[in-house]
Structure 1
């Protein structure tokens, strides 16, 4: 598969490449505002995950977390085959980064998870119903509705995140959508809408997290998100128990920021990243 990469800066002695992984229904260009705010010189790389942005789609009926790990492994083999990198992931990208850092601990020098909370644990008994739902959804091709103009895409972005300023939304819309004969279509494979037949198993995730050796920074916005996303299905207490297994963990909270903290507070996030990545 062909993956789209964005690259900023050049290789710097003493500073490994910084690889940034976006979240679900996002794109690598989403990190532009944070990169703009960084003061130090370093090479930064952001990819579009398969089925997002300008990367190719799989043509399959579902997207699997192991494939994201495989894509990241191949990317790091290309970018830095002989030395570890610094890895930052947001939301879904944060979860991929955490699992990868546990599976390939020698490949990561420092690790940053931006609101990659993960998902509620799913009991094995839920498998039949989930598989049945997936089979039912396969009978009709999924689709994403088009937008008449890029301004409409920008408006949707601002509805999703009221903190996003109009100028940032207008810039992001050019990367989130492309023009088609039917209108402006989001750069995302509609197959992402299908139920995932693979259950999320917390025990498997934590088996990876506890093997992380890199110093790890957890960053979240001050606007609590777990309750909004999951209600009582996934509690803060559950999440804190998950973080407790990470061996070398630091934490920070960005004020006046929600889940899209790289959009809400790019300057504060850039300062937190550089302070962590450049510390002795």
Structure 2
């Protein structure tokens, strides 16, 4: 298992899977070990995935300073990983909450990002969180599912803050509630660092106006991929976040939830690879 040392001395781990040009991958959660990403639906047949275990998750060490769990402070870890890998610039893919980290990284190091793929990434860093109303609207699209009647009231109570998370509504996060989805949802709780997750979005992590301005100048092409049935982000919220970038395309994967590589791996891989391999010149930097 390869490791590198962050600027504060914390030993961080990453996992290499697949062959081809490198693609650095940031997990979501927030603060969930990268193991849940698997091979991203078979993307390893096209790219060599460099999956980072963020500090305090997976095989990475717990830092001495818990304040370094804050999203903006994790940007340095991504930059040290890039340098450790010997990459002058890199393609970057981020899932879910990892999208905020990827956006902060791209804003701080625009010259290092060749292409940026944001997969079902709620744009917290842009000041655009998913709303309970949006999540419930997405949930109602599943009304014909056999599990809906039991799941919806529990989901509604959780979003209202009157009940704890209940596994009964896990199906809302998947486009297809099948054996593969059940297996993914049952992954060990140890994959997530709840203490670190509470600090990831803590005060001071984001400055949306400044970030919007910086990303509006980002020359790298950006893919914003949403799931048709996902509540965080809803496709409309994903489209709005894509408008922040100067060179972005927004796509909606039909029938997909929050983990689109599980719902239709072929569709997911085909579109992500097409984006990563697309030709054409990168837009020049704005003055």
Q: TM-score, normalised by structure 1?
A: 0.69
Is residue 70–residue 205 contact of structure 2 (8 Å, CA) maintained in 1? no
Change (3 A) 1:240 1:203: farther
Q: Post-superposition shift, 1:33? A: 4.2
CA distance in 2, matches of 1:224, 1:158: 12
| Corresponding residue number in structure 1 for 2:148 | none
Is residue 38–residue 274 contact of structure 1 (8 Å, CA) maintained in 2? no
Q: 1:6 aligns with which of 6, 10, 15?
A: 15
CA distance in 2, matches of 1:208, 1:279: 24
| Corresponding residue number in structure 1 for 2:218 | 212
Change (3 A) 1:165 1:4: farther
RMSD of the alignment, in Å? 3.1
| Corresponding residue number in structure 2 for 1:48 | 53
Q: 1:118 aligns with which of 115, 123, 141?
A: 123
Q: Post-superposition shift, 1:222? A: 0.6
Corresponding position: 1:255 with 2:251: no
Q: Post-superposition shift, 1:166? A: 2.7
| Corresponding residue number in structure 1 for 2:38 | 32
CA distance in 2, matches of 1:8, 1:198: 34
Matches within 5 A, 1:36-115: 36=42, 39-40=45-46, 42-62=47-67, 63-81=69-87, 83-115=88-120
Q: Post-superposition shift, 1:89? A: 0.5
| Corresponding residue number in structure 2 for 1:127 | none
Is residue 239–residue 250 contact of structure 2 (8 Å, CA) maintained in 1? no
Change (3 A) 1:79 1:241: same
Corresponding position: 1:166 with 2:174: no
Change (3 A) 1:157 1:76: farther
Is residue 33–residue 263 contact of structure 1 (8 Å, CA) maintained in 2? no
CA distance in 2, matches of 1:156, 1:56: 32
- String of CA shifts for 1:215-237, please: whole Å, max 9, x gaps: 11110001252588xxxxxx957
Is residue 221–residue 258 contact of structure 1 (8 Å, CA) maintained in 2? yes
Unaligned runs of 5+ in 1: 123-154, 178-184, 229-234
Classify the secondary structure of the residue corresponding to 1:4: strand
Q: TM-score, normalised by structure 2?
A: 0.67
Matches within 5 A, 1:170-189: 170=183, 173=186, 176-177=188-189, 185-189=190-194
Classify the secondary structure of the residue corresponding to 1:6: strand
Classify the secondary structure of the residue corresponding to 2:11: coil
Q: Post-superposition shift, 1:121? A: 3.4
Classify the secondary structure of the residue corresponding to 2:15: strand
CA distance in 2, matches of 1:246, 1:191: 29
CA distance in 1, matches of 2:17, 2:233: 36
Classify the secondary structure of the residue corresponding to 2:91: strand
